């Protein structure tokens, strides 16, 4: 992006080739083919656009001369695109997402350095088998667990409770940990939409849940702590379950899993007994992508529960 005086702030302005031209020496790392797929700010990415992008990435990976794919992406939704790709593409060739926390109008523009690092990761033999990654600020994160944890600092991304899987040090890609076995891939004809996220907060009631139930085909509740909600949200969750629509309970906390620890009205155990599905350690935005893919793949209610809770 670059500052646009007419808009009073930054807006997409540079093409992929422009960013590449500003990244001196990158041609020594890999032979690069550029595709100008789109120029969207992060919040303009929809699940439909993410799915179209995913399909284009898959087409490139099928080409034998392609060793990996690097995607420049707005940082506000990069974790959702990365998660969607990680859940739907076999992790043989690396897919590396990257972005910039500073605009090209700022002195500390980090776009070229992040792109350089992302290409290094995609070109590294050590990256084989790691699948989808996000590389930013000299660190490499797994697409399945990365999140944007700060609004503006250069090192804005984290994998809460886990840390990065690797770093770029003096031009070397160094992986520090292996990835656990991934759940089976979900490859639907297309994701099912709309899926909503409704947040729990002190004094929350069922109004947003009831408003969502009219059109949404599933809902993720961003619950408190271990998966707890105020008692006034419970009737709304009951109405969702009664309508035969899936309710997935995630936590608004950054780290940890939801669980059946507490038994008071509105607590996780009571929600699970009502028929809500627990998201495990997935954050709400990840759980939404997961549910959208699961319903698109035609999974039954029992299969959706097994997918999330096993």
pLDDT higher than 90, residue 106? yes
**What local confidence, expressed as pLDDT, does residue 208 receive?**
98
Q: Could you tell me if 41 and 132 are in contact, meaning their C-beta atoms sit under 8 angstroms apart? A: no
- Output the six-digit token pair for 48: 């439909």
Per-residue pLDDT averaged across 236-249, rounded? 98
R_g of the chain computed on alpha carbons:
20
What does the pLDDT read at residue 143? 97
The residue written with tokens 């350089």 in the block is 116
- Write out pLDDT tens, residues 259-268: 999 999 999 9
- The closest alpha carbon to 248, from 212, 205, 285, 219, belongs to 219
pLDDT in the model for residue 182: 82
Is the peptide bond between 67 and the residue preceding it cis, with omega within 30 degrees of 0? no
In angstroms, how far is CA 200 from the centroid of its own chain?
21
- Which residue segments constitute the domains of the chain, with CATH numbers given? 2-175 (3.40.50.1170), 195-309 (3.40.50.40)
How far CA 216 is from CA of 120, 207, 280, in Å, comes to 41, 14, 22
* Residue-wise pLDDT tens digits, 37-95: 999 999 999 999 999 999 999 999 999 999 999 999 999 999 999 999 999 999 899 99
- 310 pLDDT exceeds 90? no
- What separation in angstroms does the CA of 279 have from each of 59, 126, 221, 283? 31, 31, 10, 8
Looking at beta carbons, which pairs linking 296-301 to residues 24 or more positions away fall under 8 Å? 296/186, 296/188, 296/189, 296/190, 296/191, 296/192, 297/186, 297/187, 297/188, 298/188, 301/244, 301/246
Contact in structure between 209 and 233 (CB atoms under 8 Å): yes
Q: Looking at the predicted structure, is the pLDDT value of residue 31 above 90?
A: yes
């Amino acid at each position: 992006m670059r500052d646009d005086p007419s808009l009073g702030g930054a807006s997409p302005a540079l093409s992929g080739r422009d960013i590449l031209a500003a990244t001196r020496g990158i041609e020594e790392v890999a032979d690069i083919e550029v595709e100008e797929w789109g120029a969207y700010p992060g919040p303009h990415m929809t699940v439909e656009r993410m799915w179209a992008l995913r399909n284009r990435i898959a087409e490139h990976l099928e080409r034998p001369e392609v060793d990996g794919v690097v995607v420049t992406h707005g940082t506000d939704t990069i974790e959702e695109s990365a998660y969607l790709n990680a859940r739907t593409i076999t992790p043989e060739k690396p897919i590396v997402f990257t972005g910039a926390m500073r605009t090209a109008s700022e002195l500390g523009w980090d776009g070229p350095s992040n792109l350089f690092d992302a290409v290094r990761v995609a070109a590294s033999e050590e990256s084989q088998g790691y699948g989808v990654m996000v590389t930013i600020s000299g660190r490499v994160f797994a697409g399945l667990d990365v999140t944007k944890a700060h609004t503006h600092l250069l090192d804005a991304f984290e994998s809460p409770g886990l840390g990065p899987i690797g770093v770029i040090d003096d031009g070397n890609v160094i992986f520090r940990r292996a990835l656990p076995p991934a759940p089976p891939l979900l490859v639907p004809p297309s994701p099912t939409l709309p899926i909503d996220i409704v947040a729990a907060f002190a004094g929350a009631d069922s109004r947003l849940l009831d408003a969502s139930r009219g059109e949404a085909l599933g809902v993720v509740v961003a619950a408190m702590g271990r998966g707890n909600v105020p008692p006034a949200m419970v009737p709304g969750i009951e109405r969702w379950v009664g309508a035969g629509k899936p309710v997935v309970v995630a936590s608004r906390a950054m780290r940890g899993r939801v669980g059946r620890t507490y038994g008071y009205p509105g607590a996780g155990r009571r929600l699970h007994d009502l028929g809500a599905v627990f998201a495990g350690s997935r954050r709400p935005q990840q759980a939404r992508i997961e549910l959208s893919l699961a319903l698109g793949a035609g999974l039954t209610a029992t299969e959706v529960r097994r997918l999330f809770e096993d």
